[in-house]
């Protein structure tokens, strides 16, 4: 019986590898073309450890609903081969694997699967400007009690004739991605339900964006030339801001069932 299960698992793994080979090849090319940093591999390694440690917490048999969902997802993947770009084809592929292996019961695992994709460049293209607007406006409100003549024009902040631009690297997208990876690792360790995981991720997004705005507010004076700081201090301010956000996420996660972080 055990040999049969191992054989079935090997056949399934081989079948999925062959079916998703175009995506595997695309993933490898995207990680090595210089457009996306290969952090997705690190996420996959962490996810593999979480899955191996969490095998005892999931059902070993697929329900008929999961079988049906996996079949539908695989069908959608086959249809997606006719015209959709690889990034979109990954969606039904990930859903198929998740329903087949039971990963859909762990929202943190599924989120990490999607975050492992080379999405940073795409996020920077589509979300950079809106996030820069949010960051600059929040920064204006944070600085206003101290510099009440500060005004925002687009993504630029002006005070006393000094103009400070919130450029693309200051949008906070990369740190938002890192923060979401960390938050979903916490979700996986604590084994949150889907509703709690969604709420926690939304909370993480707000905290991380606010941390980015605090960083921009603290750097407004040196960037505008009112004071001078070293490059080390500049980088330290950003690091402390994001570490503060991470500490808040850990504290909030442990309010519910923090002891599982040690028992899992």
Q: Where in the chain are the domains?
A: 2-118, 121-263
Residue 14 confidence (pLDDT): 85
Give me the phi and psi of 156, to 5 degrees please: -105, 140
Is the predicted pLDDT of residue 246 greater than 80, yes or no?
yes
Query: Is residue 145 within 8 Å of 129, Cβ to Cβ?
Result: no
Residue 6: pLDDT band (50, 70, 90) is low
Residue 55: pLDDT band (50, 70, 90) is low
Residue scoring higher pLDDT (1 or 96): 96
Residue 76: pLDDT band (50, 70, 90) is very high
Q: Is 248 exposed, middle or buried (0-12, 13-18, 19+ CB in 10 A)?
A: middle
Q: What angle do CA 36, 248, 178 make, to 5 degrees?
A: 5
Residue 59 confidence (pLDDT): 47
Residue 260 confidence (pLDDT): 44
Residue scoring higher pLDDT (178 or 159): 178
Work out the number of other CB atoms within 10 angstroms of the CB of residue 222: 16
Residue 197 confidence (pLDDT): 95
Residue 249 confidence (pLDDT): 94
Residue scoring higher pLDDT (35 or 198): 198
Whole-number Å distance between alpha carbons of 224 and 217: 11
Task: Share the mean pLDDT of the chain.
Answer: 85
Residue 46 confidence (pLDDT): 94
Residue 21: pLDDT band (50, 70, 90) is very high
Residue 263: pLDDT band (50, 70, 90) is very low
pLDDT (tens digit, 9 = 90+) per residue, 218-228?
A: 888 777 777 77
pLDDT (tens digit, 9 = 90+) per residue, 92-123?
A: 999 999 999 989 999 999 999 999 998 888 88
Whole-number Å distance between alpha carbons of 136 and 132: 6
Residue 159 confidence (pLDDT): 82
Residue 35 confidence (pLDDT): 61
Is the predicted pLDDT of residue 262 greater than 60, yes or no?
no
Residue 192: pLDDT band (50, 70, 90) is very high
* Mean pLDDT on 58-72: 78
Phi-psi sector, 37: left (phi>0), alpha (psi -120 to 50), beta: beta
pLDDT (tens digit, 9 = 90+) per residue, 23-49?
A: 999 988 887 776 656 788 899 999 999
């Amino acid at each position: 019986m055990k040999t049969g299960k191992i054989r079935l698992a090997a056949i399934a793994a081989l079948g999925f590898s062959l079916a998703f080979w175009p995506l595997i090849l695309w993933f490898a090319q995207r990680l090595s073309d210089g457009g996306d940093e290969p952090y997705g591999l690190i996420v996959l390694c962490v996810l593999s450890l979480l899955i191996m440690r969490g095998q005892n917490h999931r059902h070993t048999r697929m329900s008929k609903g999961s079988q049906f969902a996996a079949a539908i997802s695989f069908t959608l993947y086959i249809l997606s081969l006719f015209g959709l770009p690889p990034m979109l084809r990954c969606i039904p592929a990930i859903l198929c694997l998740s329903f087949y292996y039971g990963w859909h019961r762990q929202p943190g695992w599924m989120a990490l699967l999607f975050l492992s994709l080379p999405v940073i460049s795409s996020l920077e293209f589509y979300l950079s400007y809106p996030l820069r607007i949010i960051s600059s406006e929040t920064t204006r409100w944070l600085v206003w009690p101290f510099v009440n003549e500060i005004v925002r024009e687009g993504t630029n902040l002006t005070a006393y004739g000094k103009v400070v631009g919130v450029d693309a690297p200051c949008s906070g997208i990369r740190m938002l991605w890192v923060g979401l990876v960390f938050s979903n690792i916490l979700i996986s360790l604590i084994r949150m339900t889907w509703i709690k995981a969604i709420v926690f991720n939304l909370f993480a997004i707000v905290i991380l964006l606010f941390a980015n705005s605090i960083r921009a507010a603290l750097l407004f004076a040196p960037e505008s030339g009112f004071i001078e700081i070293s490059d080390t201090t500049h980088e330290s301010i950003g690091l402390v801001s994001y570490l503060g956000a991470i500490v808040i996420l850990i504290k909030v996660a442990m309010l519910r069932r923090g002891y599982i972080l040690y028992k899992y």
